[in-house]
Amino acid sequence: MKKWLCILTALTVFTVLSCKKTDDYSGNLGGSTDLTSNAVGFKYTGSLKIGNSSTSTDAKAEVIKNGGGITEIKGTGTLPAKIKSLITSSSYVNANGVVNVSGKFVNSTEGVAYVNASGDQVILVKYDAKVGDQWSYTTKGGKSITRKVTAVSTTDDFFWSGMLIKAITVEQNLPYPGFTKAVYRANHKFGVVQVEVFLEDGTSMAMSF
């Protein structure tokens, strides 16, 4: 089961939803979007680890619309205290740190991309990725976001959901006070399976889906 979308509600909503595409990473995604996880009513959940310790999370999301290869997701979740303290202003997060957001995506057999307000695909990962692939975006606030493929498994070496799977690792900078970078791990069968955010104080927060 693919559970990759909670990242938008729990960890990097404030960067992903504001991005507009400036560089083309091999064009828009193709492949089939006829996937169970794209069906209206499909629900997503996640598990959270801060450092080496697991912690509870109420993050959840649900597919509310699907058409023309684009899936719309609505998600909610309470940000961890460390993340909440770093977000001083966001229309997606209330004073209690509760995220309430919706977004449009292309979730296909070729990869995962966010569809921005202009209708452009902002690619999170492609399953034919090669180490060294790199692409960049600019946020509405003028900040540069660069994603780079840093590892592609050739064996089942990433532990997820009780089993070992192959994983593609994508790293991106987080040009916001208190943060350093985010790391996405994805699998061609299960989608984005983990997102890890690193804070300036050395803390890491990883959400698996």
- Which domains are seen in the chain, by residue range? 7-208 (2.40.360)
pLDDT tens for residues 53-90? 888 888 888 899 999 999 998 888 888 887 777 777 67
In total, the chain counts a number of residues equal to 209
pTM comes to 0.82
**What are the backbone angles phi and psi of residue 36, rounded to the nearest 5°?**
-55, -40
pLDDT tens for residues 117-170? 788 888 889 999 999 999 988 877 788 889 999 999 999 999 988 899 999 999
DSSP-derived 3-state class of residue 81: helix
Strands (E), the chain: 19-21, 43-45, 47-50, 53-55, 60-67, 70-78, 98-108, 111-115, 121-126, 134-139, 144-152, 158-160, 163-165, 168-173, 179-187, 191-199, 204-208
Q: How far apart are CA 129 and CA 62, in angstroms?
A: 28
Q: Give the alpha-carbon dihedral of 190, 191, 194, 197, to 10 degrees.
A: 180
